[in-house]
Structure formats: C-alpha cells, structure tokens
Amino acid sequence: MSSLRALALLATLALAPASALAEPEDAIFGVNYVFTSVDAYTAGYGHFVVTGVVAGESTPRVIRFSGYGLSLQDADRCDRFALIAMTRPGRYQFSYFQEAPNQYPTCTLTRM
C-alpha cells in the first residue's frame, strides 16, 4: 500500500464519527429513547439498531433494541417511523419504549 493511500485511509478513519465504528449498546427496558435525529436504522432478526442523536445529547449513539414480543406489525411501524425521521432531519422525533421483555414496544413519531 502506498504511503499516500495509507494516509488517506488514516484520515478517513480519523474523521469518521465514533458512532460509525461503535458496537451497539443494548437498550434498557423501561427507558424511553427519544431520537432528535436518526442517522441509520438496521433491522435484523429479532432486533433493530438505531444510530442517532438522543434528545439532550450532542453526539450520535448506536442502540440495539431487542425484539422480544416484537410482532411484524410493530416492527413495520417502527421501521416507517424511523425512516420518516431519517428523511426529514429536525422535523420529527422518533421514540421507542418497551416496559419489559414480554411486552410489546411503543414507537412514536412526533413533529417538532
């Protein structure tokens, strides 16, 4: 690898947001997560991961929400809400709340 290419790679990694390289933290049941912006949304089997800025914070976080009791309709609704918040930054807040592992989650989209 040429030194110029290595320098470009190093600069790219140094300028990448920390959240892009971070392992997702597991969501805590009973906590309402309100995202003022959504940068990324990944749906997986039995879980989804949201990267975004939580209300009251200034840096993005990567949070994994486990889908215990998550039906396909709930997952679809959360998907749509997160995607709307992602495509219209600053206009909507996306929130996710799940009281306990055996209860259905509540996803909310709120106009700011």
pTM score, whole prediction: 0.73
Domains, in order of start, for the chain: 19-111 (2.40.50)
Q: Rounded to an integer, what distance in angstroms lies between the CA atom of residue 31 and that of residue 23?
A: 20
* Residue tagged 């600069």 (tokens): 11
The residue type at 102: N
Lay out the sheet containing 61-66: strands in order across. 25-26, 61-66, 47-54, 33-44, 92-97, 106-111
- Distance (Å, rounded) from C-alpha 33 to C-alpha 15? 27
pLDDT, tens only, 57-89 = 999 999 998 865 556 666 677 888 999 999 998
81 contact partners, CB below 8 Å, separation of at least 6 = 94, 107, 108, 109
Q: What digits encode the pLDDT tens for the residues 34-50?
A: 999 999 988 877 788 99
The most confident of the ranges 1-10, 12-21, 102-111 is 102-111
